[in-house]
Structure 1
């Protein structure tokens, strides 16, 4: 992911927005640690057979990826406001919870026979049966949902409503967790399971909802986990709470880093380290690998330290090797990007090929299957070629990825932003502006830190054409984004 953090040139209204975000962060931080009994925190401030995108084609390796005010303010450059923390829109995404009733509701709305779904979605028929029965914990994976919505002839929002019908947990589970928080010595596996489900529901919303809208709830969950673990009556309950801590601490690290526009590296790393420690208590290499992978993102895209990032991605791949082809493949993909940042094209392309090998072995039994999307290899490969100053090579990869990735997620904003950069670097500002408008559409909904940074990077590279009316429209939209914080 090519993300450029620009130096702040001036002030603007962002200072007040920054104060508001800092107050929010301080509030949930105090709450979280008060649950754990620590008082004020001292912690300082992400199937079988060869996949279609890996077939040789025009690019050499990849063919496709399956996978405020709007008035102009004189003398004010929207890039001057880029360093200020941004507010969040109110819209939130819904999350899947297992329910056979919900799946049958989806089936009843289908405009095509259910036996045609596996072919249309490119999944095994048994996978559809698991959705219908409620056995699948999370239902259709996020990257499959646009295709499922097309099969049903409904919008993504309507599909989310269908998937969440009749999925509320029983009041008894909530009451049991509430009782355990009042009487921590009574905490049992049912209460812990409810708490972990709350964390998973928040995690599922991460890619489509503003991170600031999830911070408080996730911080509360993490604080509750630490509080209950200190009073767990049995080792089995304590181990489940360790597992909940790895999940909630990893998510907190993601949220803090994203909400800070990928600038609060210290706090994010502190949470990832907490997750790694908890995972090692459990001897859980999958949870440890995920936290290490997220920590490598901070090194690569926040601290802009490809050497440190390379060390972390290699450590992640070693930890995940033998337990998850998905995690190992993702680690190697980001290893490729670290090599690209260092200008090492041969090593980069070898790592991309190695990642292909891991993804070739992915099956339904992979414990990290929910983290995999067929668009990831194309997204990372396109970014790699941008780092290698091969914009012409990156463009078709990113175009194919963007064509498949239509879920209005934070990842989509990154792909569209990188595609606009690829076009700009080939001297195609008009086409780049059209794509950048699409990226801004997504950023307005998700407020993802990666997409925001790329948006500002593209605006900087648009400066030579700034006086053109079409270019000024982009600056107006950026100003409107800043004004809405």
Structure 2
């Protein structure tokens, strides 16, 4: 019998080239970062520099979702999103590839799509996806802009849904928001939102309810789905976050809640801009604003303009960013009486605008304007908004570094680490990474070396 010989796979030259572009990134440091990302996704891996070498030289492909984690680790080094094709692993496939990405036109189909997603989202093989594809937003955004509200929301099915059921879901959403702000998206209480969606909201959506009750049911469920997406996004689970946002947008449409749909779409835009797609974020915020004008409270529209400003800043368009900020401020002035405002937008006020404006001008490399806006922002209490305080310290610290004030930049950076070491939020750590990058001119300073060692040991941030 003739013997057969397994042909070795060719080297993965694409991966090797991408690693070469990461100045100073060793195989050891990349393996360490992949292991960190795996832990965040609920996995335990023990990759080493030898693993990276095998993927490059022998063309080996690790099990899913490691290709996505590797692309993310390289993207962090390059400062931009990296696709699987760029690292020679385009054929790596994720299970349940389409679950949660549907935006059905029919409300009944929308309920089935959402509940199918919720039943799968807690499976470990699905949760590990950490990539983000902005193209997946195209159909949902288009269909919501065409028709942001369904005609009817009544349903005849199982047990009758009553006000007590709605109150329970609203209480769950309120509690999740508080815990997320204080402890970050990785807290056990924030993550319980997905269980609430699967075990409480899903059965109610199959029940019997009138049009009025149905609209409120769909709206509060959309709010819960947006919260689940936000907490997933906060801990770096970008793919699952994206799917929660899509379902939230569809459920807001089912409830005829245009202003909640506007808020969800604005949140989706925020994810897009923070994942490196500012132009798409601009389109999404401008579309949300145009569609919801006259149908949403001024404070809701003001927040949409704020995120538009942040997207323009990431796109390095200072004039457009300043214009959007001014529009947001004018809308906030109109919202002072807080009449007919949803509870989920009560966080946005002039102090929050000032704090975000500091980030806008930091992104525009205008430290003087950034620090001036920060001076207008009210002091925030760490016990209430722990994550936000830590991120703001890192933002302002970076602005001081842009202004060549090393001492103040380091002082604020250390304060940020004090706070963020207690918060489970990969998004917050991105702000520390940005501060770390701004320290480049002072790498030889002893105090800078101490800070770099501290963020490596306490936060797991590579130098």
Sort the TM-score into its range (normalised by shorter chain).
0.5 to 0.7
Distance change (3 Å), C-alpha of 1:233 and 1:393? closer
Partners of 1:445 and 1:392 in 2: CA distance:
30
Q: Give matches, 1:171-210, under 5 Å.
A: 185=159, 187-210=161-184
**2:305–2:327 contact (8 Å) kept in structure 1:** yes
SS of 2:350 mapped into structure 1:
coil
5+ residue gaps, structure 1, are 1-5, 46-82, 85-182
Partner of 2:298: 325
SS of 2:159 mapped into structure 1:
helix
Partners of 2:396 and 2:458 in 1: CA distance:
21
Partners of 2:114 and 2:365 in 1: CA distance:
49
TM-score (norm 2): 0.65
**2:302–2:329 contact (8 Å) kept in structure 1:** yes
**2:235–2:425 contact (8 Å) kept in structure 1:** yes
Q: Give matches, 1:43-58, under 5 Å.
A: 45=129
Partner of 1:224: 199
Distance change (3 Å), C-alpha of 1:195 and 1:228? same
Distance change (3 Å), C-alpha of 1:359 and 1:478? same
Partner of 1:454: 431
Q: Give matches, 1:107-122, under 5 Å.
A: none
Partner of 1:19: 38
Partners of 1:255 and 1:208 in 2: CA distance:
12
Query: 1:444 deviation in Å?
Result: 1.6
**2:158–2:206 contact (8 Å) kept in structure 1:** yes
RMSD (Å), alpha carbons: 3.3
TM-score (norm 1): 0.62
Partners of 1:355 and 1:346 in 2: CA distance:
14
Partners of 1:195 and 1:328 in 2: CA distance:
25
Q: Give matches, 1:73-472, under 5 Å.
A: 185=159, 187-213=161-187, 214-236=189-211, 237-260=213-236, 264-302=237-275, 304-322=276-294, 323-362=296-335, 363-368=337-342, 369-401=345-377, 404-407=379-382, 408-472=385-449
Query: 1:12 deviation in Å?
Result: 6.1
Q: Cα deviation per residue 1:256-304 (whole Å; 9 max; x = unaligned)?
A: 11111xxx433222111111111111110121111111101011112x1
Distance change (3 Å), C-alpha of 1:458 and 1:210? same
Partners of 1:239 and 1:422 in 2: CA distance:
45
**1:252–1:268 contact (8 Å) kept in structure 2:** yes
Query: Size of the alignment, in residue pairs?
Result: 335
Partners of 1:229 and 1:24 in 2: CA distance:
33
Partners of 1:339 and 1:451 in 2: CA distance:
21
Distance change (3 Å), C-alpha of 1:242 and 1:224? farther
SS of 1:404 mapped into structure 2:
coil
